Amino acid sequence: MSPLLDPFIRGAAVGALLVIGLAVWNSSVSRHARIATGMAMLSLAAWVICEGPLWTAFGRPYLVLALSFPVGGFFWLFVAAVFEDRPVTPVRLLAVAAPLITGATMNLTHGALSTAIWIAHNVLGGALALHAGFIIVRGWRGDLIESRRRLRGLVFGAAALYGMIEVVLSLSSRFGAAAPLRGLLVSGPWGGLALAVLALASAGLLLSGRPSLFGPSRRAGARPDARGEAADRQWLGKLEAFMADGGWRAEGLTIGAVAKALDAPEHRLRRLINRRLGHRNFADFVNGHRIEAAKRRLADPAEARTTVAAVAFDLGYGSLGPFNRAFRAATGATPSEWRRQALADASPILEEAV
């Protein structure tokens, strides 16, 4: 590839990334999605600039360099916000702070210490890319938003894979191995081209599907197609009967298992739960039933001595951690806190039995 093309390719990548960030930032999506997306796109753009000839053309500004250090952390934060609807919290920001600190320290030290910190920085980036890929794959089957499901596999699965490959090649090249493959690094011409293609593809899919990707869950109104509406009501009736009979209690319940039990097309069931019931992923739909049942049991004085773990296992959770997280997300309190308050409101004397 001609060296003259590299700045244009990187410029296209930077432009696509900044367009994504600005479009989402100026939209009506949630504050957490705006923050995660805007910062991830800025950090990715800074990384593209710092790894190519554009870096010297800009006079090597340290602010841009510093913004590129936590690119792995910002990408991980973005994946969690977009694909798992997670808020940006101080704990999650540690994924940004850690690579920022190692990157800055790496550039302020010399010799063996700088090399050791450089290795730690790259290993951390690879671990974040690996976990981002795990998030993307883990929620694919239960994702009820079709545009987001396409985005998982076509773009961000490839982006996470590219990040891991970049780390492996970077570490190998640092110690003299994989020299013929250096062109695939983001600092190389082919690596820059691959990143530009991913950025442009991401811009196309993200911007075209932005309302469904980032927007709040909404229930659809009645459809003008009478036959389609009748079919939807039939499938929803079967789904509601299945859940009312305690189908949600099955540990590890998946949308595929529900579709098989109802003899329903999985894609149609996915669309109905999203568009008609207002859920963005299948886990939230199931947790809604489980948390309501948990609240009834935790508020029941007759079950005041039943442990929270026993309640969680009875409701289909395989361990206590997921139950605690789901309960806190739904109520703003832990199961123990919620139970204590519920029993205290019912009878102050019962609070001592908890």
The 3-class SS string of 150-185 reads: HHHHHHHHHHHHHHHHHHHHHHHHHCCCCHHHHHHC
* pLDDT at residue 295 in the model: 93
The domain spans of the chain are 5-214, 226-278, 281-354
* Cβ neighbours around 186 below 10 Å, total: 22
Structure tokens at 215: 């927007």
Instruction: Give, for all 354 residues of the chain, the pLDDT tens digit.
Output: 566 788 888 888 899 999 888 888 887 677 888 899 899 999 999 988 888 776 766 667 788 889 999 999 999 999 888 888 788 889 999 999 999 999 999 988 988 999 999 999 989 988 998 898 888 888 888 888 877 787 777 667 788 888 888 888 887 777 666 556 667 777 777 877 888 888 888 787 776 655 555 554 555 554 555 666 787 888 889 999 999 999 998 888 899 999 999 998 888 899 899 888 888 889 889 999 999 999 999 999 888 889 999 999 999 898 888 899 889 888 889 999 999 888 887 665 444 444
Please provide the CATH number assigned to the domain covering 281-354: 1.10.10.60
* pLDDT value for 58: 66
What is the C-alpha to C-alpha distance for residues 74 and 35, in angstroms, rounded to an integer? 10
Radius of gyration, CA atoms only, the chain: 24
Token couple for 190? 């082919």
Query: What are 121's strand-pairing partners?
Result: none
In whole angstroms, give the CA distance from residue 51 to residue 191: 10
In this prediction the pTM is 0.77
Q: d(Cα 276, Cα 220) in Å, to the nearest integer?
A: 5
Kindly state the DSSP code that residue 29 receives in the 8-state scheme.
Answer: S
Q: What is the pLDDT of residue 93?
A: 93
Rounded CA gap, 51 and 165, in Å? 16
**Residue 60, Ramachandran bin (φ over 0: left; ψ between -120 and 50: alpha; else beta):** left
One-letter amino acid of 308: V
Check residue 50 and give its pLDDT: 87
